[in-house]
């Protein structure tokens, strides 16, 4: 009986160690070398601090406020290509939101491309923050401007596409109009 608790704790430690903490792209250097990886671009619009976002998919990742470009509130990083879902978003170490709307918080990352998945909009009201509104907004035009101003070399070498919920051909249209 007393070994059950030990096994449970050991299992949780092993499982939590399997989540990869990502390194954010900071310089405009295209560093994709593996064929099964792509860039993921996430925007964040919130009146709460971000502690951590956990992503589940072909590989599990943990994004934190350290990954944010604080001047713009974007995260650009490399991940293994495939379908992902946001499992939890933490505003503090002990306060988190889980997502029940399966369609709204799933996205895909294509190999060798930049996949913009949307802006997480989180608005918390009330002194203790008991009322929160969460959604994933598509702001493709803002994402394209961010990439063209901050990562023009990567944008020149990699196609950018919308990978969030729903369909959006805006980025493909812009690329076809801008390309020579």
- Answer yes or no: is 51 within a domain: yes
Model pLDDT for residues 41-77, shown as the tens digit of each residue: 999 888 777 888 899 999 999 998 888 876 788 999 9
> Structural domain tally of the chain?
1
| 180 vs 177: CA distance, rounded Å | 8
- Indicate whether 25 belongs to any domain: yes
Q: Is 108 part of a structural domain of the chain?
A: yes
Beta partners for residue 119, in sequence order: 43, 137
| pLDDT, tens digit, 9 for 90 and up, residues 134-160 | 778 889 999 999 999 999 999 999 999
Q: Contact, 117 vs 164, CB < 8 A?
A: yes
Q: By residue range, what is the domain housing residue 142?
A: 20-178
Provide the terminal-to-terminal Cα distance of the chain, rounded to the nearest Å.
Answer: 70
pLDDT category of residue 19 using cuts at 50, 70 and 90:
low
Is residue 10 in some structural domain?
A: no
């Amino acid at each position: 009986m007393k070994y059950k608790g030990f096994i449970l704790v050991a299992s949780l430690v092993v499982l939590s160690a399997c989540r990869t903490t990502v390194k954010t792209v900071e310089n405009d250097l295209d560093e994709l070398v593996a064929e099964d990886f792509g860039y993921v671009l996430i925007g964040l619009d919130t009146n709460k601090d971000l502690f951590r976002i956990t992503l589940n998919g072909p590989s599990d990742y943990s994004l934190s406020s350290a990954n944010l470009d604080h001047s713009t509130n974007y995260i650009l990083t490399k991940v293994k290509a495939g379908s992902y879902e946001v499992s939890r978003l933490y505003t503090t170490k002990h306060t988190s939101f889980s997502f029940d709307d399966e369609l709204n918080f799933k996205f895909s990352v294509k190999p060798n491309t930049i996949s913009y998945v949307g802006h997480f909009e989180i608005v918390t009201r009330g002194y203790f923050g008991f009322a929160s509104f969460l959604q994933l907004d598509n702001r493709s035009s803002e994402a394209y401007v961010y990439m063209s101003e901050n990562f023009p070399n990567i944008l020149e070498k990699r196609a950018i596409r919308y990978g969030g919920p729903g369909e959006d051909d805006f980025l493909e249209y812009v690329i076809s109009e801008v390309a020579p």
